[in-house]
């Protein structure tokens, strides 16, 4: 069971309710991710996986398979 989390959207999000946005929340030892249009699905990646994801996003993801 997750504690009550305070979810934040990126400052790049327009703030419209119909926008699909990635949201992030933190708890004492972890970060949690969810998509705003599916708020019940929460992903809690391992720190190394989150670092790899953020590095890939920062440097541009490879295009498709």
Q: pLDDT tens-digit profile of 9-45?
A: 877 776 666 567 889 999 888 899 999 888 899 999 9
Q: How far apart are CA 43 and CA 40, in angstroms?
A: 10
Each as own residue / partner, the long-range contacts of residues 8-13 (CB below 8 Å, 24 or more positions apart, any chain) are 9/36
- The mean pLDDT value for 44-63 works out to 85
Q: How far apart are CA 42 and CA 64, in angstroms?
A: 24
Residues 6+ apart with CB under 8 A from 31: 24, 25, 44, 45, 50
**Could you tell me which residue, 62 or 4, shows the higher pLDDT?**
4
pTM of the model: 0.70
Residue tagged 């703030």 (tokens): 15
């Amino acid at each position: 069971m997750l504690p009550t989390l305070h979810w934040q959207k990126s400052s790049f999000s327009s703030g419209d309710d119909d926008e699909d946005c990635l949201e992030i929340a933190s708890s004492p030892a972890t970060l949690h991710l969810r998509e705003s249009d599916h708020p019940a699905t929460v992903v809690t990646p391992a720190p190394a996986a989150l670092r790899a994801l953020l590095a890939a996003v920062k440097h541009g993801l490879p295009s498709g398979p």
